Amino acid sequence: MIKKDAIIIGSGQAGNPLALKLSAAGLKTVLIEKSEEMLGGVCVNVGCTPSKTLIASAKAMHKIKTAHKHGISVPDVSIDFEITQKRKNDIVAKSKKGVKKNLEEAENLDLIYGTASFSGEKTISVQNESEEAIEFTAPYIFINVGCRPATPEIDGLKDVKWYDSTGILELQEIPKKLIVIGSGYIGLELGQMYSRFGSEVIIVEKAGQIISNEDADIAENLQEILEEEGLTFHLNSEIKNVKQDDNKITLTFTKNNKQEQIEGTHLLIVTGRKSNADSLHLEKAGIKQDDKGYIKVNQKLETNVDGVYALGDIKGGPQFTHISYNDYVIVSDNILEQKNTSTEGRIIPYTVFTDPQVGRVGLSEKEATEKNLNFTVIKIPGKRITRGLESAETQGLWKAVVDNDSDKILGAAIIGSEGGEMTSIIQMAMKGNISAKDLQTFIFSHPTYSESLNTLFDELE
Ligand SMILES: Cc1cc2nc3c(=O)[nH]c(=O)nc-3n(C[C@H](O)[C@H](O)[C@H](O)COP(=O)(O)OP(=O)(O)OC[C@H]3O[C@@H](n4cnc5c(N)ncnc54)[C@H](O)[C@@H]3O)c2cc1C
Ligand SMILES: NC(=O)c1ccc[n+]([C@@H]2O[C@H](COP(=O)([O-])OP(=O)(O)OC[C@H]3O[C@@H](n4cnc5c(N)ncnc54)[C@H](O)[C@@H]3O)[C@@H](O)[C@H]2O)c1
């Protein structure tokens, strides 16, 4: 049994900075990552970094194809997908190399590869393929094991070649006709990306709207934009079965009680993610989970077992890199600096990286209604954004929810160029108690997208 001060399981978006911070503070720390291939976690290897890199290439292609809006004609646009993929692979490799170097060079920190699981309340067993299991014990244990793609039960799927979010990012060819099951973040981002690379894309979704947690007007606006680009949507659709004959995949589903069939050359299934806690033998430590397998934590990210914490996607709730990173900040503040930081009142921003982006922060209209708040909704269409007009980017919708009693901004959704950056500005206003009325006359430089926040908040009476 090897004794440490801290054990971190999973080299995710919280595990890596936490390992560096604890070890720099003098705590003898071990970071256990399942495989060297996944060092750096989902975001770096198979999530944000590869997807956003390829999405940027697809955007470059789209800009060229639509340059005629500016009177510029470009004949015969073509793509060498091998180069596009290499650019992505190089960026991922570089990010990972940086993570590895930092971890390996840190004092007081051991990085080991293998699958970790609990063998007792404060003991962790690590198994890799070639060696005998190693046992560690420590007063502090941090779980940052994340999630993996969830696959729905679909009749016939086992006989079909299909891709999840990881496999589709590795394709060496551009699909002729891509069927996507699921219209969440990944389905929309990667669906639009392959459409821009030249695929015909059909998205099948069981809910009545895309990005099903968002307000209906936001979902409808984004769907219209994607349809204008050529993507096709089937909502309210229940998958019945899937079949493959050579290169032809046939998906059968019922939509509004009518049976429909579509054909494609490739199939992407992106219907959410599931907890990786099943590898951890949490029962041996008595750590409690919810009914979906996420680890239960309090507002300080403590599990029910003293000294054991869960951070990032594995604790349930919003699954974003920046939330996982903020979990690390909370835990390290409390342990190393004896602060009293918690998740309470944390303002959650996120961005769907379609183009235009959907930037979101705080409460949606739907959530404000559910909370029975006294609020006003203000909206302006993308065509009123001056900077967008000048840049031939007039799509979208800007929307904010404002509390009537306090004049505080409760939340916003911005579909538009750099929608994610725009909602970050609103987030700063929310955090700094800058009121909605202040933003009516706040000085932003002209002509920026930010300047149109004056126009949005001017909609308030
Ligand atoms: C395609 C895609 C695109 C995304 N894009 C974005 C985006 O643009 N913005 C955003 O904010 N979020 C995005 N996300 C979500 C984001 O990647 C996750 O929220 C983020 O990675 C959360 O990380 P985490 O800290 O929970 O751990 P993870 O990054 O999931 O890492 C967990 C690590 O634990 C390891 N592990 C698992 N089990 C064990 C075990 N038993 N023993 C040892 N190690 C183990 C895994 O190998 C993995 O390396 C995207 C996700 C995907 C799939
Ligand atoms: N830009 C970002 O921040 C970003 C990008 C990608 C992923 N992510 C994270 O990864 C998570 C997973 O993304 P995701 O897109 O896989 O999940 P998601 O939960 O966002 O969307 C899944 C979609 O699939 C639909 N669905 C589920 N089962 C279905 C079925 N049987 N048939 C048809 N549709 C079905 C759901 O109704 C939902 O609309 C996200 O929740 C997000 O937290 C974030």
Are 320 and 350 within 8 A, CB to CB?
yes
Protein residue closest via CA to atom 8 of ligand 2: 185
Ligand 2 pocket: which residues have CB below 6 Å?
152, 181-187, 189, 204-207, 212, 239, 270-273, 319-320, 350-353
- Residues recorded for the chain: 461
Q: What is the pLDDT of residues 42-83, one digit of tens each?
A: 999 999 999 999 999 999 999 999 999 999 999 989 999 999
pTM of the model: 0.97
> Which ligand is located closest to the Cα atom of residue 253?
2
The Cα 55–Cα 185 span in angstroms is 13
Output the pLDDT for position 129.
78
**What burial class does residue 377 get, using C-beta atoms within 10 Å of its C-beta: 0-12 exposed, 13-18 middle, 19+ buried?**
middle
Cα 145 to averaged position of ligand 1 atoms, centre (Å):
8
Residue 387 pLDDT > 90, yes or no? yes
Place of tokens 């003898």: 28
The Cα 130–Cα 114 span in angstroms is 10
Q: What is the pLDDT of residues 235-270, one digit of tens each?
A: 999 999 999 999 999 999 999 889 999 999 999 999
The Cα 103–Cα 238 span in angstroms is 46
Q: What beta strand segments (E) does 246-325 contain? A: 248-255, 258-264, 266-269, 273-275, 308-310
328 is in an annotated binding site: no
The Cα 188–Cα 231 span in angstroms is 10
Tokens of 276: 């990786």
**Ligand 1 pocket residue status of 280, Cβ below 6 Å:** yes
Q: What is the 3-state secondary structure (H, E, C) of 177-227?
A: EEEEECCCHHHHHHHHHHHHHCCEEEEECCCCCCCCCCCHHHHHHHHHHHH
Output the pLDDT for position 130.
76
Cα 439 to averaged position of ligand 2 atoms, centre (Å):
33
Cα 381 to averaged position of ligand 1 atoms, centre (Å):
35
Q: Which residues contact 451 (CB under 8 A, 6 or more apart)?
A: 386, 387, 444, 445
Output the pLDDT for position 256.
87
Q: Is 281 assigned a catalytic role?
A: no
ipTM over 0.90: yes
Residue of 271, 275, 320 to test ligand 2 pocket, by largest number of atoms within 8 Å of CB: 271
Q: What is the pLDDT of residues 205-215, one digit of tens each?
A: 999 999 999 99
Are 313 and 319 within 8 A, CB to CB?
yes
DSSP 8-class letter at 163: B
What does DSSP say about strands 349-352 and 357-362: parallel, antiparallel, or unpaired?
antiparallel
Are 50 and 169 within 8 A, CB to CB?
yes
pLDDT above 90: percentage of residues in the chain: 98
81: alpha, beta or left? (left if phi > 0; alpha if psi -120 to 50): alpha
CA triplet 206, 207, 210: central angle to 5 degrees?
A: 110
Output the pLDDT for position 231.
98
Q: What is the pLDDT of residues 298-325, one digit of tens each?
A: 999 999 999 999 999 999 999 999 999 9
Residue 13 Cα: closest atom of ligand 1: 25
**Ligand 1 pocket residue status of 326, Cβ below 6 Å:** no
Residue 426 pLDDT > 90, yes or no? yes
**Which secondary-structure segment (H or E) carries 127?**
strand 123-127
382 is in an annotated binding site: no
Residue 132 pLDDT > 90, yes or no? no
Cα 332 to averaged position of ligand 2 atoms, centre (Å):
30
